[in-house]
Amino acid sequence: MKIIIQKFGGTSVISEERRNSVINKIESAIEKDLNTVVVVSAIGRKGDPYATDTLIEFVKSSGIDPEPRELDLLMSCGEIISCVMLANTIKKRGYRCAVFTGGQAGIVTDDNYNDARILRVDPKNIINCLEKGVIPIVAGFQGATELGDVTTLGRGGSDITASIMGAALHAETIEIYTDVDGIMTADPKIVKDAKVMDAILYDEVFQMAEYGAKVINPRAVEIAMRSNIPLEIKNTASDYPGTLISSYDNRRGYIRDANKIITSVAQISNRTQVKIKFSEAIQGEKYDKFFDIIAKEDISIDMINIFPTYTLFIIDDNKSVKLEGIFKDLKYDFEMKNNCTKVTIIGNRMKGVPGIMAKTVAALREEGIEILQSSDSHTTISCLINSEFTNKAVNSLHRKFELGK
């Protein structure tokens, strides 16, 4: 049995016209003798009647925030509404279908409400459905604990649902439908000549998501990569081929362009740079423990550079006030610089290639942009800059590495 997973985002099911476009995609898969499993997100975005954020605001209007367990129950409703609405539209076209919650689809999670981790998947209900020629429609973003309590998988969790179902069912491919033509070389709102990539490797798109590009949930990429199932990012409203994410594209004959060492530029804004200085107030055991203190306060740190006389790292701007209070109480000698942006170039083939860092530095310095801090890996180079230069920096790097060609 050849199975394909087709995941549709909230904007894909917001109107009858778009739901009909969804059914056209399902029909296309059926015509290729593929058994399709449909995964659906909540309808629309904040402000739309059945969007998840709208439901949350409605409940919070009572003046009391819901407990995590009850919040997951609430947040699971948007996807269920989408599924039932889409199912009715599909039935009007003469197809048989059945709606499943994440738990009914066999997704078992831990009880970390609002950001649950998947323990296992038992897709027997979905397989039974497919064997009867019925299209399963699975509510994304959710699962259930061993005790049957509803859980959610965190923001972007419907992508995770698509990938985990694909892995459990040994799917041929996982299609992620959205309102864009595919993955782009940079944010098109910043770079006018950003282009859609035909194909990209798993680890590159994973890095893009990690470094700020709003592409696909990184956990979804991880799951697909482990199972070596291709992911395709497509537009519900068009027949554009989209972007294929895989280890190698043997269907499109994809071979990496030897000249394209860098594939994309991503950015994360709202960062604060923190500098801890060595002084009598931060010697010995007190210094050794300050990373543990930060972790216990649930403050994530990044771009860590340790020098003999000081340590640098960055945090999210919204944690800066909390961290400042902690450091003052501990009498640490520190400095903070708010409103920074981490700009990153990404390319799986940059390892061992000389001159990439020099080219990166030159691109920013040509625009008069000061580099506050840098970090790198085998596939990325990141530079911290003042946020006012974000657009200029991203465009400069995009041009320097000729990503628009």
Residue 115 per-residue DSSP state = S
Q: Is 252 left (phi over 0), alpha (psi -120 to 50) or beta?
A: alpha
User: pLDDT digit of tens for each residue in the chain (405 aa)?
Assistant: 899 999 998 888 888 899 999 999 999 999 999 999 999 999 877 777 778 888 888 898 888 888 999 999 999 999 999 999 999 999 999 999 999 999 999 999 999 999 999 999 999 999 999 999 999 999 999 999 999 999 999 988 999 999 999 999 999 999 999 888 999 999 999 999 999 998 888 888 888 887 887 778 888 999 999 999 999 999 998 999 999 998 864 444 444 454 578 999 999 999 999 998 876 656 555 566 777 888 888 899 999 998 888 889 999 999 999 999 988 888 888 999 999 999 999 998 888 788 999 999 999 999 999 999 999 998 899 999 999 999 999 999 999 999 988
CA gap 161, 154 in Å, rounded: 11
Query: In the beta sheet, which residues pair with residue 268?
Result: 342
**Closest alpha carbon to 314 in 397, 383, 392, 217:** 383
- Residue type present at position 383: C
Cα 102 from Cα 76, distance rounded (Å): 9
**Rounded CA gap, 203 and 53, in Å?**
31
Spatial strand order in the sheet of 334-346: 302-306, 310-316, 264-277, 334-346, 380-386, 373-376
- Domain boundary assignment for the chain: 3-179, 264-400
Query: Residue 3 pairs with which residues in a beta bridge?
Result: 35
Q: How far apart are CA 269 and CA 283, in angstroms?
A: 32
- pLDDT at position 361 is 96
Superfamily name with CATH number, domain 3-179: Acetylglutamate kinase-like (3.40.1160.10)
Q: How far apart are the first and last CA of the chain?
A: 41
Q: At what angle do helices 77-92 and 16-31 cross, to 10 degrees?
A: 70
Q: What is the pLDDT of residue 284?
A: 59
What is the helix, strand, coil percentage profile of the chain, to 5?
A: 35, 25, 40
Report the alpha-carbon distance of residue 340 to residue 36 in Å, rounded: 44
Q: Of 109, 160, 114, whose CA–CA distance to 138 is shortest?
A: 160
pLDDT of residue 255: 46
Specify the residue for token string 């595919």: 182
What is the model's pLDDT at position 33?
94
| Tokens describing residue 343 | 């700009």
Nearest in space to 237 (alpha carbons), one of 74, 48, 8: 8
CA distance 342 to 383: 6
Give the fold, CATH level 3, of 264-400.
Answer: VC0802-like (3.30.2130)
Answer for the pair 38, 135: CB distance below 8 angstroms, yes or no: yes
- C-alpha–C-alpha distance, residues 129 and 134, integer Å: 5
